[in-house]
Amino acid sequence: MPERKQLVAGNWKMNGARADGIALAREIAEWAKEPHACELLVCPPATLLVAVGEALGGEALTGGDVRLGGQDCHAAASGAFTGSISAEMLRDAGCSHVIVGHSERRHGCGESDADIRAKALAAWRAGLIAIVCVGETLVEREAQIALAVVAGQLAGSVPDGATADRLIIAYEPVWAIGTGLTPTKRDIAEMHKAIRGHIPAGTRILYGGSVNPKNAAGILALPEVDGALVGGASLKAEDFWAIARACT
Ligand code: PGA
């Protein structure tokens, strides 16, 4: 079974002008010179990918210490899709990873499991690692159907032929994203254990949703938690680094 080295990924979302992104990337690259037990990934807005890749030392694709990822991609390689970006374009911009199916795309942009599945396939076609996000809403958690909802999302959005070296799952309860709320450690552990039963052995499962320097160590120490997908706290290099340092 492949080793599941923890991964701390920063999802910058729609934040940052060029100067901000470059400054943040430089700070992270500086911190990353210190010893750390995890892999690091930053996912800036598409407009900043090339500049951030350069600020990270231009090694993102060649296995440099801080890798570069996109926040979404289109399923097609090219064509008449105004405003969209293909997985091939992300690869060309220096990315090694792409997030697909983030809840802000599922719920904010109406993306279905089938859409996300097609995007994951596109990621693989382009040679990228697909980070497939899943997670229940608060209504679903309260109705005690969270496990079933996530199982359904996995069945619908993880393509056949998945392997641990090109798939990462991010469990992000919708109600925990950007709210300061997190599930109990018991609920996180239960969900990660359940997810493990649906994916190839050795696939990493990240937790995402209000991870911060204070709660990171507790979450990252849970069994089956192979890292974190970090939104708000990834916009401050110091906080992002504190989370990375909490990895074991
Ligand atoms: P948050 O976002 O850390 O700000 O809750 C996580 C995410 O949306 O990936």
> What pLDDT score does 132 carry?
98
Pocket test for ligand 1, best of 14, 174, 210, 240 (most atoms within 8 A of CB): 210
Is 88 a known active-site residue?
no
User: Hey, what long-range contacts does 30-35 have (CB within 8 A, 24 or more apart)?
Assistant: 30/237, 31/237, 31/238, 31/240, 31/241, 31/244, 32/65, 32/66, 32/241, 32/244
CATH of 7-245, one of 3.40.50.450, 3.40.50.1000, 3.20.20.70, 3.40.50.261: 3.20.20.70
Ligand 1: nearest atom to the Cα of 212: 3
Q: CA angle, 18 as apex, 16 and 23 as ends, to 5°?
A: 85
> What pLDDT score does 58 carry?
63
DSSP secondary structure string for all residues of the chain: ------EEEEE--S---HHHHHHHHHHHHHHTTS--SSEEEEE--GGGHHHHHHHTTS-GGGT-SEEEEES--BSSSSSS-TT--BHHHHHHTT-SEEEES-HHHHTTS---HHHHHHHHHHHHHTTPEEEEEE---HHHHHTT-HHHHHHHHHHHHSPTT--TTTEEEEE--GGGTTTS----HHHHHHHHHHHHTTS-TT-EEEEESS--TTTHHHHHTSTT--EEEESGGGGSHHHHHHHHHT--
Ligand 1: nearest atom to the Cα of 234: 3
> What pLDDT score does 111 carry?
97
| CA–CA separation, 81 and 66 (whole Å) | 30
Q: Which is the catalytic residue, given 39, 74, 97, 102?
A: 102
**Are 62 and 36 within 8 A, CB to CB?**
no
Neighbours of 163 (CB within 10 A): 13
Ligand 1: nearest atom to the Cα of 11: 9
Q: How far is CA 61 from the centre of its chain?
A: 17
Using CB distances shorter than 6 Å, the residues near ligand 1 are 11, 172, 177-178, 208-211, 229-233
By alpha-carbon position, which residue is closest to atom 2 of ligand 1? 231
> What pLDDT score does 162 carry?
97
> What pLDDT score does 65 carry?
84
Q: Which is the catalytic residue, given 88, 111, 136, 172?
A: 172
pTM passes above 0.95: yes
| CA–CA separation, 42 and 184 (whole Å) | 26
**pLDDT tens series, the chain, 248 aa:** 557 999 999 999 999 999 999 999 999 999 998 889 999 999 999 999 999 999 998 655 544 689 999 999 999 999 999 999 999 999 999 999 999 999 999 999 999 999 999 999 999 999 999 999 999 999 999 999 999 999 999 999 999 999 999 999 999 999 999 999 999 999 999 999 999 999 999 999 999 999 999 999 999 999 999 999 999 999 999 999 999 999 98
Q: Whose structure tokens read 């919708």?
A: 174
Query: In the chain, where are the structural domains located?
Result: 7-245
Ligand 1: nearest atom to the Cα of 176: 5
> What pLDDT score does 62 carry?
47
> What pLDDT score does 166 carry?
97
127 CA → ligand 1 middle, Å: 25
By alpha-carbon position, which residue is closest to atom 6 of ligand 1? 231
Is 102 a known active-site residue?
yes
